[in-house]
Amino acid sequence: MDERRGPLQAALERIGDRWSLLIIDALQDQALRFSDLSDRVSGIAPNILSSRLTRLEEEGVIVSQPYSERPPRHVYELTAAGRDLAGALRLLAHWGDRQSDDGAAIRHDLCGTPLEAHWYCVSCDRVVDQGAETEIRLL
């Protein structure tokens, strides 16, 4: 990786357009067919959806499995890397919820309490405060 290019820039160069992120969001809960993705990602043209699916598969974020040979049709699902990225999208959605005026929040399904995201160190077994800049670094 180029020393001047940080990890966020590298990630954005791989999958940073809005259509790709919306496709990943649509695939968070289940594998979907092309037509289902087209319905879930409102406003995306079929040629754009097709090109984004190809690119996301090349990047190892999704995988396609054929379910029909004639005509050729596929179902799409997230890879492990795609599920990791979907987690990051949940954080972005959480930020968006907190900034909105409608009071929407990501909530715990069992009790209804708004959820909070925190950095956690598995070695130290503790939550790391995001304001503690000396404790967080990117490699």
pLDDT tens digit sequence for 101-119: 776 677 888 998 887 777 7
Q: What is the number of other CB atoms lying within 10 angstroms of the CB of residue 82? A: 23
Instruction: Return the percentage of the chain with pLDDT > 70, whole number.
Output: 88
CATH code: domain 7-107 is 1.10.10.10
Q: How far is CA 21 from CA 25, 54, 106, in A?
A: 6, 14, 18
Q: Where are the domains of the chain?
A: 7-107
Can you tell me the mean pLDDT for 56-70?
94
The answer to whether residue 92 scores a pLDDT higher than 70 is yes
- Predicted TM-score (pTM) of the model is 0.77
